[in-house]
Structure 1
Amino acid sequence: MTQSPYWNRIADKAKSENRPFFSLAPMEAVTSSVFRRVVAKAAAPDVFYTEFTNALSITHPIVKKTTKGRLYIDPKENPKPIVQLWGNNKEDFEKAAVEVKQDGYEAIDINMGCPDIAVIKNHSGSDLIRHFDTAQAVIDGARATDLPVTLKTRLGYSEVDEYKEWIPFLLKQHAPVLTVHLRTREEMSKVPAHYELIDELVRMRDDIAPDTLLQINGDIMDYQAGIKLANEHPGVDGIMIGRGIFTNPFAFEKQKQDHSTEELLTLFKYQLDLYDEFVSKGIPGHFAPLQRFFKIYVRGLKHAAEIRNDLMSTKTTDEARAVIAKIENGGYQ
């Protein structure tokens, strides 16, 4: 199961540049087509993922309408994102796999690490760590087509030591890629990522599934931090960045630079334009989730708190553009 032309291309390109491959983590209400294109314009990683999407919803005759925005890929997106699915039913994954292949996706990732309580109650996400049989079923279901199926998880549910059984179980699936967020579900993001376990994870991978690419996630803020971590832990193949993108939209640039207010505001306006374009296509979109991105662009500006408050009071992209114009014209004194 390990060999995958899709992932071979990714890994070979990174190896030719003597570095790990980099990806932007799949994040709820974040990694839509709009934001993926914003990150690509700033500094693109090797791999993008969609927002995580319920496998059941993809083919459900009524609920499938809600996935239209989550699964939309703009023709200009290159590379195309990997679709990330969650759920707990083999048949749902079988049907979803067929559907996403027809939609043009080239790879599937299974979410086995989401800590959200609603997902846990659905016996999905990180709850799968407690139910190996269900985890096996959804993996088998996702393999209903020839699309490569990768896995993203946490170390354990309640205790860190759960990784000693859970990670070998996943490695025995011989997926092209295993991504490990170096915390448990109970730890959420309240403790530092357990970097001390990386070498042990590499040893497990080398012993059980040497062809599986190991990707590390957790507390990695930018490209430079990812390179440092990979150099300190030989055998790590990939680096996934999540929350770091909210601190720095240029997190994936290979040469760290200082970016001017003008550059940040230009990127901000680009996101607003893309959002308007997205909505104009008739794809469901809500303005409120867009506001969570505003802090990215005003962090570090003089009067940042006042600007942020003004932006959070806006209800349309035109109102947000008016705040940007006020910044550009020196209106905040």
Structure 2
Amino acid sequence: MSTFWHTLPRPFFILAPMEAVTDVVFRHVITRAGQPDVFFTEFTNAMGWYRAGDKAIGGRLIKTDDESPIVAQLWGSDPEAMAAMSGYCRQLGYDGIDINMGCPDQSAVKAGGGAGMIRTPEKAWAIIKAAKSGGLPVSVKTRLGYSNVDEWREWLGGLLRQDIAVLTVHLRTKKEMSKVPAHFELIPEIKKLRDELAPDTLLVINGDVRDRVHGIEFYDTYGIDGIMIGRGIFTNPYAFSDRTDKPSKQEFDRQEPAAKQRAGDDASGDQHDKLIELLRFHLDEYDRYYQQTSRPFETLKRFFKIYIRDFDGASDLRVELMNCTTTEEVRSILDRQVC
């Protein structure tokens, strides 16, 4: 069955689902910096919603019409709850469902969801079947295995036999978390397995991909379909942008030393200004959606390091902003810095 996934460019780029990060506010920020091809929500507990409705999920499924295509990422181990939640997401206008089978968080694992699914494959297949009943294309995001890298063939092979639209593989195990380099060396074998078992299932890689340029290198090398970027946006919110104001390496190398210094200083100043402007936009969006998301101001503070860095006095300014209690206080400090 053809879905929106099959209309995307190659390679396509996805903003990874990240807990307490990729809500409607931050997705809008990333869109302004450089829009990905597909958006994912934070992961949402299907059973929590099934038992208590929208009040249990705290604005996680709020979206806007300009976020398209957008996929609701769900987790849980109860097929009935998953089926109901998938149907609800279709009513809300989502374009797809992604099932989280890779989150290493112990609360999710103990509940049988996230990476816990890797240890209960038959239950995982039942969850996929239930999600499909909602009528949207179903994808899965997972890891190579639970404890050992060599689990990947049996686990990923089982998933590929479930006729899913997309398989996203974080190239580490649950046990490895993000403490070791991603296992890029396995991509050719994983792709070969996909080609043999499920050639219509799109293959996406995740883990240690820095930005669009880096992702295109992986596409050119391995021929995978898409790239998912997560933590990279904390060091570069422009990771999805295909624009660059920098000279090529050849052009830069031909410049005189003084010109190189001026170019570096100008680029640094421009980048600083762009990041401050992006932070102001983030504050505006936070205020705009506060009534719907009810996210405490404290949750904003984790983002300050994205914008306030790589200039003299950045550390002191971050400390000052961390002591703020309102968005107006932050704006006031930023205004003073500009003056």
Normalising by structure 2, we get a TM-score of 0.90
Q: Residue 68 of structure 1: CA displacement?
A: 4.2
8 Å contact from structure 2 (residues 36, 240) kept in 1:
yes
8 Å contact from structure 1 (residues 53, 84) kept in 2:
yes
**Amino acid in structure 1 at the alignment position of 2:289:** F
8 Å contact from structure 1 (residues 85, 108) kept in 2:
yes
Bigger mean CA offset, 181-190 vs 132-141: 132-141
Match of 1:255 in 2: 243
Give the alignment of 1:240-319 within 5 angstroms: 240-257=228-245, 258=267, 259-279=270-290, 281-319=291-329
8 Å contact from structure 1 (residues 153, 181) kept in 2:
yes
What is the CA–CA distance in structure 1 between the aligned matches of 2:53 and 2:337, rounded to whole Å? Answer: 41
1:277-327 Cα distance to aligned partner (Å, 9 max, x none): 101x44322111111111100121211111111111111111111221132
Match of 1:24 in 2: 15
3-state secondary structure, aligned to 1:48: strand
Bigger mean CA offset, 107-116 vs 143-152: 143-152
Match of 1:189 in 2: 178
1:205-227 Cα distance to aligned partner (Å, 9 max, x none): 00000011000000001011101
Match of 2:59 in 1: 69
Indicate whether 1:133 and 2:143 are aligned: no
3-state secondary structure, aligned to 1:137: helix
What is the CA–CA distance in structure 1 between the aligned matches of 2:239 and 2:175, rounded to whole Å? Answer: 27
3-state secondary structure, aligned to 1:169: helix
Indicate whether 1:59 and 2:40 are aligned: no
**Amino acid in structure 2 at the alignment position of 1:69:** G
**Amino acid in structure 2 at the alignment position of 1:288:** E
**Amino acid in structure 1 at the alignment position of 2:276:** L
8 Å contact from structure 2 (residues 39, 67) kept in 1:
no
Number of residue pairs aligned between Structure 1 and Structure 2: 316
| Gap runs ≥5 in structure 1 | none
Bigger mean CA offset, 187-196 vs 137-146: 137-146
Give the alignment of 1:50-129 within 5 angstroms: 50-60=41-51, 62=52, 64-75=54-65, 77-129=66-118
**Amino acid in structure 1 at the alignment position of 2:277:** T
8 Å contact from structure 2 (residues 206, 229) kept in 1:
yes
3-state secondary structure, aligned to 1:184: coil
Give the alignment of 1:196-211 within 5 angstroms: 196-211=185-200
8 Å contact from structure 2 (residues 171, 206) kept in 1:
yes
Structure with higher Rg: it is 2
Indicate whether 1:327 and 2:337 are aligned: yes
Q: Residue 246 of structure 1: CA displacement?
A: 0.4
**Identical amino acids, percent of aligned pairs:** 47
**Amino acid in structure 1 at the alignment position of 2:100:** N
Q: Residue 169 of structure 1: CA displacement?
A: 0.2
What is the CA–CA distance in structure 2 between the aligned matches of 1:80 and 1:238, rounded to whole Å? Answer: 14
Aligned in 2, Cα 1:110/1:303: closer, same or farther, shift over 3 Å?
Answer: same
What is the CA–CA distance in structure 2 between the aligned matches of 1:145 and 1:86, rounded to whole Å? Answer: 15
3-state secondary structure, aligned to 1:214: strand
Indicate whether 1:43 and 2:41 are aligned: no
What is the CA–CA distance in structure 2 between the aligned matches of 1:186 and 1:51, rounded to whole Å? Answer: 22
3-state secondary structure, aligned to 1:151: strand
8 Å contact from structure 1 (residues 4, 148) kept in 2:
no
What is the CA–CA distance in structure 1 between the aligned matches of 2:43 and 2:102, rounded to whole Å? Answer: 11
Bigger mean CA offset, 315-324 vs 215-224: 315-324
Q: Residue 56 of structure 1: CA displacement?
A: 1.3
C-alpha RMSD over aligned residues: 1.3
Normalising by structure 1, we get a TM-score of 0.92
1:218-239 Cα distance to aligned partner (Å, 9 max, x none): 00010111011111112x0000
What is the CA–CA distance in structure 2 between the aligned matches of 1:34 and 1:288, rounded to whole Å? Answer: 15
| Gap runs ≥5 in structure 2 | 246-266
1:63-85 Cα distance to aligned partner (Å, 9 max, x none): 5313241100124x331421000
3-state secondary structure, aligned to 1:252: coil
8 Å contact from structure 1 (residues 73, 80) kept in 2:
no
Give the alignment of 1:149-168 within 5 angstroms: 149-168=138-157
3-state secondary structure, aligned to 1:162: helix
Match of 1:8 in 2: 6
Aligned in 2, Cα 1:243/1:209: closer, same or farther, shift over 3 Å?
Answer: same
1:123-149 Cα distance to aligned partner (Å, 9 max, x none): 110011011111011111101122000
Aligned in 2, Cα 1:282/1:22: closer, same or farther, shift over 3 Å?
Answer: closer
